[in-house]
Structure 1
Amino acid sequence: MTAEHTDRSGYTTPAPVRELWLQTPVREFTTETGDRRWLVTGMEQVRAVMADPRFSRAEARRLGAAIGPAAVFRNTGINDLDPPEHTRLRRLVAGAFSARRIRGLRPRIQQITDELIASLVAAGPPADLASGLCYPLPVTVICEILGVPGEDRQRFRGWADRVVSTGAYPPEEALGALKAMVAYMAELVDAKRRDPDESLLQDLITARDEQDRLSEDELVTLGCGLLLAGGESTATTLGKGLVALMDNPGQLALLRADPSLVPAAVDEVLRYTTLGVHPYGGHIRATTSDVDLDGTTIPAHSVVHACLPAANLDPKAFPDPERFDVTREGAADHVAFGYAMHRCLGAQLAKLELEVAIGSVLAAFPGLRLTVPAEDVPYKHGFLITGLRALPVTW
């Protein structure tokens, strides 16, 4: 497969893969390396895979098929576990991401956003919104939640880029960054034991030291995983969402005329854009037994790709799905955050960050526009997530 297709969200896939999305929602296929796998693309079918415990993340890792930041760790991360182990770790951090606690973060998220925008205004146009807003906002927020000192955040960003590399950096460089990040997290845990604070990482330390609810390795791996998940994915979605708005001036005008549409627009951004985490679509599972899905039997120990981007573009779920529409009814039914037991813990936090950032950008820059055509916005490739290298704008 050599031909490629790049959509307006920067998601690049081999053209035959895109064709598979448009065919039957459950089908067997052959990867570029000759592996036989199963591709699930319909919204109904993807949800079934995500909710059915017979489609196992742990089995996928055992077969060597799981990808994602957790897959590079020596120890299994939360996203590579099935219940009851997954449930145990998820409960440890769920409270930090409750709706009440996330709502309480709005003033601080707004303050961070205002400070970043003020710096952009002071420097004047043109500007790079990727480096000036999209990346520093979520990284700052997740670091504050976990209790990562401000002076260490840029160092972490360099490690994170390499850890999630799938070719952008040499393997030995990625492995070195991983080792450095794990060592740093272990040191941070020790520092908080000596000087406790009120961070989420401190809560996990308490669960380890006083309640024996997780191991030391699980503590360190979970801390690294939360940092990785809380920064890049939200930054990428924010950047791609702003591109989509500027590339659809009619929709941008609607949002400017009625800022109350921002929450609905965020759901449409999440549905319309994609993180590009894998050529076949994201969440990988493996069957623990024969499973009948939509009238097709998938044999036991088969690797299954639940293609979230395709599900979000399923015309049965979203009429005219490739149209960007901030007033779309039912946009919130997307599966950008996953579904069921593996739905992203930080979904509400990410949505809040997106709402605050998009609303603030539109208010601060009434003449905001791209300085290049939307199709020429530069994207990063060779990473688990296809993020923006830059977002060049003026106003």
Structure 2
Amino acid sequence: MAGPEHARLRRIAAKALSPRRVELLRPWVEELAQELAAKLIAQGPPVDVLEGYAIPFALSVLNELLGVPPTACDDLRRWADGIVAVFTALSYEEMADAAQKLGGYLAELVEIKRHAPGDDCLTWLLQARDDNGDALSPEEVTQLAFAILLGGYVPPANALAQAVLRLAIEPDLPRDPASVPALVEEILRQDQGSAADQGRVALEDADIGGVPIREGEFVLAPLRAGNHDARRFPEPALVDLARAPGHLTFGHGPHHCLGAALARLELQTGLRALLAAAPRLRLAVPFEQLEWRRMFLTLEGPVAVPIGWWNRLNGAACTERSPGLSPSVVRRSRTLDTQT
């Protein structure tokens, strides 16, 4: 969407997804992350961070955010998996059926919240008003809930798994709690820049970087290229925790991701909890053996992120295989020079 109608929806929805609202979830999200991290480590190495930690973490946060009853959680994951067809392989007919079922369920849930408000995002969206007193219709809330569920499931789970992967293959990166926020921003810039790639159709003729774009032409802007632009980010391949903010992973301007605050909370909390449970985590297979999947347009993610860890008591490696490091991805953080 664009123009006045987009601005109206965004003004109202932003009140329900404000950083202040998201911050109220922090204690619960922190407790959830600690429980899931402990459960993962208790399985013993190697463990898959994506399926065993990142996916249930992202889904549990979404269910809490939207006020989904526990009895419906499994259905929501099955429908969401069917729509994005990322963690499952489905036909177009199965994807369409999953979308219809998810939309129908969310419409029912919105109707329930209209008559029995709760402390959840659907209620906040129903109750939100802009300065003119305008509100969202139940249909608009249902559509937003659909977008929140899909946007808040795969991208955060994928980002958390890739953040752990980055730490697993770069053992010199700082892992103390104070460094996590800056580390998250660099990992978002480094590895997640294609998560928000969007196709656009030019509304008028334009010239960008000396390239003529004509009205009606299709354009796909790879945000990862912007995040690695050396004119904006010197030595872009370097993980530099002292960089000034400004990456494009959450978009820019009027289409900046409304869920950015929630995504940052999940990534920071998820990393802190896992590092507290396994501070010396390592990749359990050589990097070259990892399999990757293509999602949406250009978003890529690992099929699995198997990790082990070093025993903090005797220094023994707790993996079935020795960690493998890829020279092309192992880079030293500039900030380590003063921390070592």
Letter in 1 for 2:92: P
Q: Could you report, residue by residue, the CA deviation over 1:75-106 in whole angstroms, capped at 9, with x for unpaired residues?
A: xxxxxx10211111112221232222222222
Letter in 2 for 1:286: V
Shift of 1:303: 1.6
Which residue of the other structure, out of 83, 94, 103, is the alignment partner of 2:23?
103
Q: Is the 8 A contact 1:130 1:239 kept in 2?
A: yes
Distance in 2 (CA, whole Å) between partners of 1:335 and 1:375 is 28
Q: Is the 8 A contact 2:162 2:191 kept in 1?
A: yes
Q: Could you report, residue by residue, the CA deviation over 1:106-151 in whole angstroms, capped at 9, with x for unpaired residues?
A: 2111011011012123322221111221111122112211111123
* SS at structure 1 position matched to 2:229: coil
Q: Verify: 1:126 aligned to 2:46, yes or no.
A: yes
Q: Verify: 1:390 aligned to 2:308, yes or no.
A: no
Shift of 1:184: 0.8
Shift of 1:276: 4.5
> For the aligned residues, what is the CA RMSD?
2.3
Partner of 1:78: none
Q: Is the 8 A contact 1:106 1:352 kept in 2?
A: yes
Partner of 1:229: 151
Partner of 1:17: none
**Change in CA separation of 1:259 and 1:196 when aligned onto 2, cut-off 3 Å:** closer
Partner of 2:316: none
**Change in CA separation of 1:207 and 1:354 when aligned onto 2, cut-off 3 Å:** closer
Which residue of the other structure, out of 362, 366, 377, is the alignment partner of 2:275?
362
Distance in 2 (CA, whole Å) between partners of 1:97 and 1:215 is 17
Shift of 1:206: 4.0
Partner of 1:327: 241
**Change in CA separation of 1:310 and 1:338 when aligned onto 2, cut-off 3 Å:** same
Q: Could you report, residue by residue, the CA deviation over 1:302-337 in whole angstroms, capped at 9, with x for unpaired residues?
A: 2222210111111222222223x142423x221000
**Change in CA separation of 1:394 and 1:142 when aligned onto 2, cut-off 3 Å:** same
Partner of 1:195: 116
Q: Is the 8 A contact 1:168 1:382 kept in 2?
A: no
Letter in 2 for 1:264: A
* SS at structure 1 position matched to 2:50: helix
Distance in 2 (CA, whole Å) between partners of 1:206 and 1:259 is 36
Letter in 2 for 1:115: E
Partner of 2:336: none
Q: Which has the higher contact order (CA 8 A, sep 6+)?
A: 1
Which residue of the other structure, out of 191, 208, 213, is the alignment partner of 1:293?
208
Shift of 1:353: 1.2
Q: Is the 8 A contact 2:152 2:259 kept in 1?
A: yes
* SS at structure 1 position matched to 2:249: coil
Name structure 2 gaps, 5 residues minimum.
Answer: 310-340
* SS at structure 1 position matched to 2:105: helix
Name structure 1 gaps, 5 residues minimum.
Answer: 1-80
Shift of 1:212: 6.6
Distance in 2 (CA, whole Å) between partners of 1:376 and 1:86 is 44
Q: Is the 8 A contact 2:180 2:272 kept in 1?
A: yes
Instruction: Summarize the alignment of residues 220-369 of structure 1 with structure 2, pairs less than 5 Å apart.
Output: 220-251=142-173, 255-256=174-175, 258-274=176-192, 276-277=194-195, 282-323=197-238, 325-330=239-244, 332-369=245-282
Distance in 1 (CA, whole Å) between partners of 2:47 and 2:94 is 31
% identical aligned pairs: 39
Distance in 1 (CA, whole Å) between partners of 2:177 and 2:114 is 45
Distance in 2 (CA, whole Å) between partners of 1:225 and 1:303 is 23
TM-score normalised by length of structure 1:
0.71
Distance in 1 (CA, whole Å) between partners of 2:276 and 2:270 is 10
* SS at structure 1 position matched to 2:65: helix
Partner of 2:312: none
Distance in 1 (CA, whole Å) between partners of 2:18 and 2:136 is 21
**Change in CA separation of 1:333 and 1:93 when aligned onto 2, cut-off 3 Å:** same
Letter in 1 for 2:286: P
Q: Verify: 1:156 aligned to 2:76, yes or no.
A: yes
Letter in 1 for 2:151: A
Q: Could you report, residue by residue, the CA deviation over 1:179-220 in whole angstroms, capped at 9, with x for unpaired residues?
A: 111111112122223432122212333469xx7733443222
